[in-house]
Amino acid sequence: MSTQALTYTQYLKIDELLSLNQPQSDEHDEPLFIAIHQVYELWFKQILHELAAAQRTLEAGDTFASLATLGRIRTILKTCVSQLDILETMTPLQFNSFRDRLSSGSGFQSAQFRELEAVLGRRDHAGAKAASGTGMGMSEHLVVGSPARQRVEDAMARRSVWDSTLRYLAARQHAVPAEVLDRDVSTPYGGDERVQDVLLAAHRNDPEAGLVCESLVDIDEGMQEWRYRHVKMVERTIGNKPGTGGSSGVGYLQSTLFHSVFPDLWAIRAKF
């Protein structure tokens, strides 16, 4: 018995996808605002998928698969940055025509972005607890016991991308200190001079490991670039007004700038 071939519309669930853009006003620009942020969430999901693969290949010692995946992540981050060019075609007047319809909604509530930060190495347990409180405008997705909140907590409890990288280096006979490899991965990591010495040696004597490290710098730079462009877009649109969702708007976003994901890789720049 023949079965009907899967169509493009069925495979991509086009009807369901298009139904998800539901503006809360009749303003012309609101569908654009919604579409861009929905696409961001799709890209965050894909980055998380790729980072998980990168951790597996790093810990398996597969340099070339790791490089390919890390390169893909960097390219996705470039796409995320370029989407801000589209959002910036919306003037402050156009955005403010529907801004009040966002109510407590805010990008600050993106559980996937918090999970992404945790996978890269951020350990903000206080922030995760605040996410379930009041006055922060946080999404119901991040309340205690929710699946999204659990994913963030789980990511902070397991090895980060940097921890996987250190294992990759150790497997290549680089002398990563045992106490760094065996540290409590749920605690913040701010860099270690002994690790920086290992990284310098890897760059000088192990070209493949050096390429992996530079690919991580690309991702770190991409994250910082996205944050900077996001700050400027918000400042351009609402100035110093408080943000939706109870955040401080530009002030909060500015506080996140120039926080490197992999501090050791930046610290060695002055030591070559």
- Write the CATH number for 220: 1.20.58.480
Residue 3 lies in a domain: no
Measured from the Cβ of residue 132, the count of other Cβ atoms closer than 10 Å reads 15
Residue 103 in domain: no
pLDDT confidence of residue 118:
96
User: pLDDT confidence of 238, banded at 50, 70, 90?
Assistant: confident
Give residue 51's domain range: 30-88+108-270
SS3 letters across 83-98: HHHHHCCCCHHHHHCC
Does residue 245 belong to any structural domain of this protein?
A: yes
Query: Is residue 48 situated within a structural domain?
Result: yes
What's the whole-number mean pLDDT along residues 229-249? 69
Whether 244 is covered by a domain: the verdict is yes
Residues 39-70 pLDDT 10s: 999 999 999 999 999 999 999 999 999 999 99
Answer yes or no: is 20 within a domain. no
Number of domains in the chain: 1
In a domain, 226, yes or no: yes
Alpha-carbon distances, residue 199 vs 51, 82, 169, 196, 232 (angstroms): 21, 32, 9, 5, 34
Domain-embedded: residue 13? no
How would residue 253 be classed by pLDDT, with cut points 50, 70 and 90? low
pTM: 0.88
Ranking 32-41, 112-121, 225-234 by mean pLDDT, the lowest is 225-234
